[in-house]
Structure 1
Amino acid sequence: MFPYNLHGDEEIHGEFPFTLKIHQLGVPVPAHVHHFIEYTYAFKGRGTEIINGVKKELVPGTFTLLFPHQVHEIDIEPGEELFLYVGAIGLKAYFGGDTVFDLHQLLKQAETDANTTYKLDEQTAAEMLPLLQQMHEEVQVEKPWSRVMFLSKLVQVFVLFDRYRQAAVQSEGRVQEGAPLKGMWEIISYLYQNFKEDITLETLARQFNYSVSYISASFKQVVGENYYSFLERIRIAHACNLLIGTEMKITDIAYEAGFKSYPTFIRVFQSRMNMSPTAYRKHKGITLA
């Protein structure tokens, strides 16, 4: 049985590609993968998470970092409940480099860590839980500078996690493995930096010295959708930002986002956003002189 592939909340593909919610689980969660990066923190109850076939106990103080290539599920025993902070980070934020910190740089070593679940010590857990509580408050009630506050605390959360993770790796004498699919994160990063260009699978094959078939199959496995669909999504996300953040003409936005023709842009935008670019701009409250 193939795992579910979860696209995630719409906001993680928008201008602020972050979410943080509280999940109360009383029944098992079936095997699935994501189009995004997920982090969880258990603060009450008990459960078991299976990540790529490896079981990990979830108890209060357990922090888990999940990348798109990791198939995972959660088992809850009858009568048990599990309470988690569940955060999502869109790949745009991870590779885009347009946030207040370099998330990719901070977490790049964790990508190759075979163990992504850690039961934190009391001191680290005592520092992390209040940060998550404050982050959750910031996303629940929009205040001045809420996004900046959220991101600043998210940085602290991941610094705490990575310090603990690195110390655990060293104390256990483990050697981190190579990337799960060779070269794919570099290719995805390249796409985020160059999505406006005319990039085909053949272009990537020449650039990174892999076969077209390897990139195509690996891309689907890592990201959860085919290459051209993913590239369209990046371009549409950029177009949305331009529609609500600038007064550029829609025809200019189409080409600025990397589309070869205006009709193609309109067709793809309508399909993905369920409205025209003009309607999207009006829907978001943008008034042009």
Structure 2
Amino acid sequence: MMFPYYLQGDDEVHGEFPFTLKIHHLETHIPAHVHHFIEYTYAFKGRGTELINGVSKELVPGTLTFLFPHQVHEIKIEPGEELYLYVGAIGLKAFFGGDTLFDLHRLLQGAESDPNTTYRLDDETAAEILTLLEQMHVEIQEGHPWSRVMFVAKLIQVFVLFDRYRQSHLEPSPSQHREVQSMRGMREIISYVYHHFKEDITLETLAKKFNYSVSYISASFKQLAGENYYAVLEQIRIAHACNLLISTNLKITDIAYEAGFKSYSTFVRVFQSRMHMSPTAYRKNKGIALDL
């Protein structure tokens, strides 16, 4: 089985200010990948197609997309086409509260529970959000006094505008509402796993803690992430190990245990299988994964 590769994100995502915002100009296919942070993108010029867990979504100007760590995604650009995107990243600590000014997870919990994570905004909302992203990009690039505070304040505005749009335009049908309600508990479980992945958390552990059956949690992980629970847990641990390999001088043996693996040999085997290179080679190449 071939696994998507991992985009580790910029060092800032894992630092004291866990936010980035950049402009990407895409002219070729971006292969399937996952990452250990929250990503949001806004298309403002051109055209492309994004596949999220196998579901195709059109990217045209005014399209806002949220990508959570359990979602495998890729972008296809047709020959002769191009796509311009604002691409922002939020570290998991900031997203789930942490020490930031606002609990972004609480603000976006509706979107996170929504089966659809790609939204074609109306013209008015799209224009407002584009203006804010342009201002945020200036703040993060030029580093004026209070730039970080301004950046986060404008980011919250973006998400508030989006959630108002979502709630007023995307009212779920009764069947969708039932699906959202049933999945909400799974989002809490996924959040717990991302916070406690270093621990020995089995399906039985999660079932007892959250009062669901083992079979329900197992099937829901497969539905949400496209892989079984233990494969997702491996993904999270390997992503964390990748971050440590390229951003610290820790010994690889120490990284194995820091990432939640019980033995060094298991870590090396899983890393090689998923990244198609050894941890040593990954560190030497500064995180550049082999083409899959």
TM-score > 0.5 by shorter chain: yes
What is the Cα deviation at residue 10 of structure 1?
Answer: 1.7
What is the Cα deviation at residue 152 of structure 1?
Answer: 0.2
Q: Does 1:91 align with 2:92?
A: yes
User: What amino acid is the match of 2:236?
Assistant: E
For residue 69 of structure 1, give the secondary structure of its aligned residue in structure 2.
Answer: coil
CA distance in 1, matches of 2:172, 2:205: 43
Question: 1:172-183 to 2 correspondence within 5 Å?
Answer: 175-176=176-177, 177-178=179-180, 183=185
What is the Cα deviation at residue 171 of structure 1?
Answer: 7.4
User: What amino acid is the match of 2:46?
Assistant: G
Aligned pairs, how many?
A: 244
The percent of aligned pairs where both chains have the same amino acid is 61
Q: Does 1:221 align with 2:232?
A: yes
Which residue is 2:153 aligned to?
Answer: 152
User: What amino acid is the match of 1:17?
Assistant: P
What is the Cα deviation at residue 172 of structure 1?
Answer: 6.5
Q: Is the 8 A contact 1:32 1:72 kept in 2?
A: yes
Which residue is 1:31 aligned to?
Answer: 32
Q: Structure 1 residues 22 and 232, CA, compared in 2 at 3 Å: closer, same or farther?
A: closer
Instruction: Write out per-residue CA displacement over residues 139-168 of structure 1, whole angstroms, 9 at most, x where no aligned residue.
Output: 111121111000000001011111111222
CA distance in 2, matches of 1:106, 1:38: 15
Gaps of 5+ in 1: 241-262, 273-289
Q: Is the 8 A contact 1:35 1:223 kept in 2?
A: no
User: What amino acid is the match of 2:67?
Assistant: L
Gaps of 5+ in 2: 222-226, 260-292
Q: Is the 8 A contact 1:69 1:223 kept in 2?
A: no
What is the Cα deviation at residue 129 of structure 1?
Answer: 0.6
Q: Structure 1 residues 268 and 180, CA, compared in 2 at 3 Å: closer, same or farther?
A: farther
CA distance in 2, matches of 1:108, 1:171: 15
Q: Structure 1 residues 191 and 119, CA, compared in 2 at 3 Å: closer, same or farther?
A: closer
Q: Structure 1 residues 219 and 97, CA, compared in 2 at 3 Å: closer, same or farther?
A: farther
Q: Structure 1 residues 206 and 180, CA, compared in 2 at 3 Å: closer, same or farther?
A: closer
User: What amino acid is the match of 1:65?
Assistant: F
Report which of the two structures shows the higher radius of gyration computed on alpha carbons: 1
Q: Is the 8 A contact 1:34 1:223 kept in 2?
A: no
Q: Does 1:49 align with 2:60?
A: no
Which residue is 1:111 aligned to?
Answer: 112
Which residue is 1:62 aligned to?
Answer: 63
Superposition RMSD in Å: 3.9
User: What amino acid is the match of 2:128?
Assistant: E
User: What amino acid is the match of 2:151?
Assistant: F
Question: 1:1-289 to 2 correspondence within 5 Å?
Answer: 1-170=2-171, 175-176=176-177, 177-178=179-180, 183=185, 185-187=187-189, 189-190=191-192, 206-209=208-211, 218=229, 220-221=231-232, 224-226=235-237, 267-268=254-255
Q: Is the 8 A contact 1:96 1:192 kept in 2?
A: no
CA distance in 2, matches of 1:106, 1:24: 29
Q: Structure 1 residues 174 and 131, CA, compared in 2 at 3 Å: closer, same or farther?
A: farther
Which residue is 2:268 aligned to?
Answer: none
CA distance in 1, matches of 2:151, 2:233: 28
Q: Is the 8 A contact 1:68 1:224 kept in 2?
A: no
